Amino acid sequence: MPSKPINIHNKKAKFEYQLLDQFTAGIQLKGTEIKSIRNGKASIMEAYGVFSDGEIFLRNMYIAEYENGSYNNHKPRIDRKLLLNSKEILKIEKFLKTKGNALVPIKLFLSEKGWLKVLIACATGKKTHDKRQDLKLKDDRREMDRALKKGA
């Protein structure tokens, strides 16, 4: 087990999308990819899920090349297969057929057994007024917290 936990989040996902169903999936990786991820050199900010040939892939996920990888190193932005069961794949496939829907990764983490997992969500894009409303709610919560802190 690594000494420090993996803490890779997609901070923009909740702001840009309305998250619906969430799934936990394994990722098919090579040896140098997991070593880079354990060093914290990965990003899922621009990543999204696609359905192809009966399988779900994570596209545009960035994993930096491992510095000690030699000629066996991986490519930073290749499609990576997500490991899901068939019921989940069918549900995601049906969801992605509708225009405006997306599959967005939210978080990379290690399971209790030490396997790398990704939390993905079926999502729909938010409109500008929805984003403004979220910002207003966030500001209101911040103001309430400040008032409570001042009063205490």
- CATH number assigned to the domain comprising residue 70: 2.40.280.10
Cα gap 23→103, rounded to integer Å: 10
pTM: 0.79
Residue 58 within a domain:
yes
- Tokens linked to 18: 């309305």
Looking only at the bridges linking them, the beta strands covering 42-43 and 17-27 are: unpaired
Residue 144 within a domain:
no
Residue 94 within a domain:
yes
2 pLDDT tier (thresholds 50, 70, 90) = very low
Residue 150 within a domain:
no
Number of domains in the chain: 1
Q: What is the pLDDT of residues 80-100, one digit of tens each?
A: 999 999 999 999 999 989 888
Residue 52 within a domain:
yes
Residue 1 within a domain:
no
Residue 98 within a domain:
yes
Residue 146 within a domain:
no
Q: Which residue segment(s) compose the domain that 83 sits in?
A: 8-126
pLDDT at 1: 46
Q: What is the pLDDT of residues 42-53, one digit of tens each?
A: 889 999 999 989
pLDDT at 12: 86
Please state, for a pLDDT cut of 90, what percent of the chain lies above it. 34
User: What do you get for the CA distance between the two ends of the chain, in Å?
Assistant: 42
72 pLDDT tier (thresholds 50, 70, 90) = confident
